[in-house]
Structure 1
Amino acid sequence: MSSFLETMLSRAKTDKQTIVLPEGDDERTLQAAERILADDVADLIILGDAATIAASPYALDGARIVDVRTAPERAELASSLHELRKAKGMTPEQANELMDNVLYFGVMMVKTGQANGMVAGACHATGDVLRPCLQILKTAPGVALVSSFFVMVVPDCDLGQRGTFIFSDCGLEVQPDSEKLAHIAVNSAKSWKTLMGTEPAVAMLSHSSFGSAKNADAAKVIEATEIARALAPEIALDGELQLDAAIVPSIGASKAPESSVAGHANVLVFPDLDAGNIGYKLVQRLARAEAYGPITQGIAAPVNDLSRGCVADDIVGVIAITCVQAQAQKA
């Protein structure tokens, strides 16, 4: 177990949060739930068929098992959903029908305060997980957009923070313009501070370092860097930087000698989803890194997605991260 995961689990235990897991029919979810309960990390609500879950080989004593079809709170949640969405044309019948969808049911539990956060995505696409969040929870106050990141923990690595990085955005914004990219950078820096408790050093990544290439793609990153600095001048942030210049001290000193970020970045902001998604998967598979996410940032309450290729260990980590995010939002 990495020191990052140990820290997240330890912090989660200090102020236990209630997390809803909508995918109670997924074996990996139940395996992760068993570990979370055994270690007293969080209180859990698991959505699914009670008899099927009870027949599983996992010890889930202490979890609250909820069947969305027969749950006593179903009518109340449906009524609340209708009230929230009636201006958009939702009827009471449609709201009640959506309560059959475990993702909508879980998000409504978060919205009504029955849970502090939700973790899903082991068997649902990212769009399906985030749609009810954006419709019901919406963005946090003062946040311009919802984006995502991965926490990457690279073994036997002295770059970043002892091998730990945030990669953003690797799961949501497909082709952000310069303004969106700037907001992603600022929000990722805040997420680093929340999770790691240390100062972020943000690199705006490109195929160019400080004007070594001149084209529209590099110009977008340069403009995003300027906007991000205006939004949050207190953050150590620089760009445009090639990946090696961002994280390798000797190359950073050579390519960007006047930069306080070059060679020491721990938050890597990719120019688009192609680069980010490919980048995190390369590091995960070739460097055997732990990859936790995609973790969302900017939603009014913590709801986090999972890769459908995740294993139980990944789910444990994302549950712990969600708890820490929920603690920070309550503070």
Structure 2
Amino acid sequence: MSLLEKFIAKAKKNPKIIVFPEGEDERILKAAVQAAREGIAFPLLLGEEDKIASRARALNLKLDGVKAKDPQIECENEEYTNFYHTLRKDRFFSPKMARALLRKPLNLGALMVKCGEARGMVAGAANLTSSVLKSSMLMIGLNKGTKVPSSFFIMSTREPRVGERGVLIFADAAVNPDPSSEQLADIALTTADSVERLLSWQPRVALLSFSTKKSTAHPLVDKVIEAVKLTKERASHLLIDGDLQVDAALIPEIAQRKVRGSKVAGRANVLIFPNLDAANIAYKLVQYLGGAKAYGPILQGFSHPVNDLSRGAKVEDILALTAITVILAQESGIQ
């Protein structure tokens, strides 16, 4: 059974309502119909209902089990405007201002998740990551104790000797361009928690650098070393090590030569990259040159599940992220 098949099987055990703010997009329509047909999720599409129905007919899709709502109509719903007004706790913020915000599908979708009408959101097929993050921060907010939102990719490689039978986690490959030591620590802790909930692994976290155990003196290396220290202070139970070069993190033979007494070196399954340049380049190299399957970016740190698609996402990618969002909703314990 492939990793995608495992995600789908787990999602089908307890499907959830997932909102798709880009409901008029052809790829979203196809994925939503498939998700409903296979019992993966209960899709809720946002967009003009007539346009959604018309495009579905043109694509020969039956919208059985798929609901649709129009943000231009729903923004007038007093339940939504009153909920957001209460959420803001700002007496100067009027219902008229709330309606203006909720006309935007990303904002309405995120509010639906916050108020419990939907259990997760999948967006980004036609919107920038920054827009998805902005709406999610505005309407959903971060988990208590989480300082920054971040993301990770699940990389299913062709090399079974690395990670968990060839599967690795790459973070943060989509959100934070140049994280500080404190932010790297936050990303490491959030990613470890996500991995435990989504994949039921014991995370072995490597904070990567161009140096292994201070083999090079440089401020960029110091940033990673400080991040390891801060992470250990916040979670002494976590298996974490750094600074590590990627070969020392993944290959036992190299780790034996470079590192002593590490429970992570040579067997890491979670790779925390020092910045967005490194992480984004790495996942695309592994995906396109190494033939790996890349699932993500999976957003993390928010109080409710929300995920961001690549604008080049295919139907299979959307279906995978939908199943992952359902699983995260299952594991959140929110009914």
Indicate the TM-score class for this superposition, using the shorter chain for normalisation: over 0.9
**By how many angstroms is 1:179 displaced?**
1.1
**By how many angstroms is 1:91 displaced?**
2.9
Letter in 1 for 2:130: G
Most deviating of 234-243 and 152-161: 152-161
Normalising by structure 1, we get a TM-score of 0.95
Name the counterpart of 1:12: 11
Instruction: Measure the CA separation in 1 of the matches of 2:317 and 2:173.
Output: 16
Name the counterpart of 1:36: 35
Name the counterpart of 1:25: 24
What's the secondary structure of 2:319's corresponding residue? helix
Q: How many residues align?
A: 330
Letter in 2 for 1:262: A
Spell out the pairing of 1:116-265 with structure 2 (5 A cutoff).
Answer: 116-265=119-268
Instruction: Measure the CA separation in 2 of the matches of 1:304 and 1:81.
Output: 21
What's the secondary structure of 2:132's corresponding residue? helix
Q: Decide whether the 8 Å contact of 1:110 with 1:117 is kept in 2.
A: yes
**By how many angstroms is 1:73 displaced?**
6.9
Letter in 1 for 2:306: V
Name the counterpart of 2:319: 316
Name the counterpart of 2:116: 113
Instruction: Measure the CA separation in 2 of the matches of 1:195 and 1:110.
Output: 19
Instruction: Measure the CA separation in 2 of the matches of 1:162 and 1:213.
Output: 31
What's the secondary structure of 1:262's corresponding residue? coil
Spell out the pairing of 1:41-56 with structure 2 (5 A cutoff).
Answer: 41-55=40-54, 56=56
Instruction: Measure the CA separation in 1 of the matches of 2:91 and 2:136.
Output: 15
Instruction: Measure the CA separation in 1 of the matches of 2:290 and 2:49.
Output: 40
Q: Decide whether the 8 Å contact of 1:75 with 1:96 is kept in 2.
A: no
Instruction: Measure the CA separation in 2 of the matches of 1:200 and 1:170.
Output: 18
Q: Decide whether the 8 Å contact of 2:37 with 2:65 is kept in 1.
A: no
**By how many angstroms is 1:243 displaced?**
0.7
Normalising by structure 2, we get a TM-score of 0.94
Letter in 2 for 1:186: L
Name the counterpart of 1:91: 94
Letter in 2 for 1:134: M
User: Deviations along 1:120-148, whole A, 9 cap, x unmatched?
Assistant: 00110011111121122111123232211
Name the counterpart of 2:2: 3
Name the counterpart of 1:61: 64
Q: Decide whether the 8 Å contact of 2:75 with 2:99 is kept in 1.
A: no
Instruction: Measure the CA separation in 2 of the matches of 1:143 and 1:88.
Output: 27
Q: Decide whether the 8 Å contact of 2:33 with 2:66 is kept in 1.
A: no
Gapped runs of 5+ residues in structure 2? none
**By how many angstroms is 1:166 displaced?**
1.1
Instruction: Measure the CA separation in 1 of the matches of 2:179 and 2:194.
Output: 19
**By how many angstroms is 1:74 displaced?**
3.0
Q: Decide whether the 8 Å contact of 1:238 with 1:262 is kept in 2.
A: yes
Letter in 2 for 1:308: R
Instruction: Measure the CA separation in 2 of the matches of 1:5 and 1:65.
Output: 26
Instruction: Measure the CA separation in 1 of the matches of 2:16 and 2:76.
Output: 20
Which of the residues 75, 80, 88 maps onto 1:77? 80
**By how many angstroms is 1:261 displaced?**
0.8
What's the secondary structure of 1:69's corresponding residue? helix
Gapped runs of 5+ residues in structure 1? none
Letter in 1 for 2:46: L
Spell out the pairing of 1:280-299 with structure 2 (5 A cutoff).
Answer: 280-299=283-302
**By how many angstroms is 1:86 displaced?**
5.5
Instruction: Measure the CA separation in 1 of the matches of 2:326 and 2:159.
Output: 27
Q: Decide whether the 8 Å contact of 2:75 with 2:108 is kept in 1.
A: no
Name the counterpart of 2:269: 266
Instruction: Measure the CA separation in 1 of the matches of 2:320 and 2:91.
Output: 36
Instruction: Measure the CA separation in 1 of the matches of 2:75 and 2:153.
Output: 36
Q: Decide whether the 8 Å contact of 1:119 with 1:303 is kept in 2.
A: yes
Q: Decide whether the 8 Å contact of 1:203 with 1:238 is kept in 2.
A: yes
User: Deviations along 1:190-227, whole A, 9 cap, x unmatched?
Assistant: 11111111211100000000111110000110111111
Q: Decide whether the 8 Å contact of 1:68 with 1:74 is kept in 2.
A: no
Name the counterpart of 2:331: 328
Instruction: Measure the CA separation in 2 of the matches of 1:88 and 1:138.
Output: 20
**By how many angstroms is 1:156 displaced?**
4.8
Letter in 1 for 2:132: V
**By how many angstroms is 1:257 displaced?**
3.4
**By how many angstroms is 1:237 displaced?**
0.6
Instruction: Measure the CA separation in 2 of the matches of 1:53 and 1:271.
Output: 42
**1:307 is aligned to 2:307:** no
Instruction: Measure the CA separation in 2 of the matches of 1:263 and 1:156.
Output: 14
